[in-house]
Amino acid sequence: MDRVGFIGLGLMGKPMALNLVKKGFFLTVHSRSQAPVDALVAAGAAQAGSPAEVAAASDVVITMVPDSPDVRLVLEGPRGVFETVRAGSVIVDMSTIAPAVARELAGKAASREVAMLDAPVSGGEIGAINASLSVMVGGDAEALERVRPVLNAIGNPERIVHIGPSGAGQVCKACNQICIGGALASVSEAFAIARKAGIDPARVREALLGGSRRAGCSRCTASAS
C-alpha cells in the first residue's frame, strides 16, 4: 500500500506530506491553496484537481483539514473522496474534529467497504517537520496495522497508539488539549504571582526550565511566554 493521497497542505499538512515523499511513498496531493501543492509537486508528488481524484489514485487517503465541516466537505461534498474511493482502501483523518462526526463518517466509509481511522496528532509544526508527532488512533486495529508504515513516516513510531474504536482518537485528542490547557493556566497563574510580587517572570521561566520541573514545564512556559 504505497500509493498515498494527502488532502490539506496547511501549516501541519505540508510538512507531513513532504515527509511521506522523502520516505519514498508515491504521493498524490490536493489543497485549497495552490502554493503548497506546487511545493509538493516540486518535491516529487503528483497533483490532483479534487479530493475525488486523490481517492481514485490512492490506496490510503489522508485528510488534514481545520474542522468537522471541512472533513465532511472533503469526504461527502461534490467531487469528494466518497465518490471514487475503492473498496479495501483506508481513509486516515488526521484533523481534530468532533468524535461524533468521526464515528458517523467511519460508518459511511464502512458502507463502502472502506476503513476509516480518526488519527489526530500532537506535537505542533515542529513535530510535523521532524516527523516526531504523536498520533492518537481510533478505529479498526487491523486497518491501523495496514497503514502503520505510512504513519511511521509522519510520526514517532513509539507514539502511534491505538486508543480504541472509531471516535476514540478524537476523544484522546480532547483529553490532550484539556491537559495542555490546564498546564498553561497554571503557568499563567505562576507568572501573575511573580509579577505581583515584583519579580521578573522571565527569570522565573528560566528557573523553571532549568530545574527539576523542566520536563513538565518547558513546553507550557514556552507557549505561555
pLDDT interval class at 224 (50, 70, 90): very low
- pLDDT tens-digit map of 132-190: 999 999 999 999 999 999 999 999 999 999 999 999 999 999 999 899 888 888 889 99
- Element (DSSP H or E) covering residue 206: helix 201-210
pLDDT at 213: 47
pLDDT at 177: 87
pLDDT interval class at 211 (50, 70, 90): low
Rounded to a whole number of angstroms, the distance between the first and last alpha carbons of the chain is 44
pLDDT at 209: 85
The total of other beta-carbon atoms located within 10 Å of residue 122's CB is 18
Angle subtended at Cα 214 by Cα 212 and Cα 219, rounded to the nearest 5 degrees:
160
Q: Is 27 exposed, middle or buried (0-12, 13-18, 19+ CB in 10 A)?
A: buried
List the CATH code of the domain at 3-166: 3.40.50.720
Q: Report long-range pairs for 44-52 (Cβ below 8 Å, ≥24 apart).
A: 45/6, 45/17, 45/21, 48/5, 50/79, 50/80, 51/7, 51/75, 51/77, 51/79, 51/80, 51/81, 52/79, 52/80, 52/81, 52/83, 52/84
**Percentage of the chain surpassing pLDDT 90?**
85
pLDDT at 181: 87
Annotation says 196 is catalytic: no
pLDDT at 16 over 70: yes
d(CA 56, CA 19): 22
pLDDT at 203 over 70: yes
For residues 179-204, average pLDDT: 91
pLDDT at 97 over 50: yes
d(CA 136, CA 176): 10
Q: Which residue has the higher pLDDT, 149 or 212?
A: 149
d(CA 153, CA 127): 12
Candidate list 14, 22, 173, 196, residue with the active-site label: 173
- pLDDT tens-digit map of 108-139: 999 999 999 999 999 999 999 999 999 999 99
What's the predicted TM-score (pTM) here? Answer: 0.87
pLDDT interval class at 217 (50, 70, 90): low
- pLDDT tens-digit map of 36-78: 999 999 999 999 999 999 999 999 999 999 999 999 999 999 9
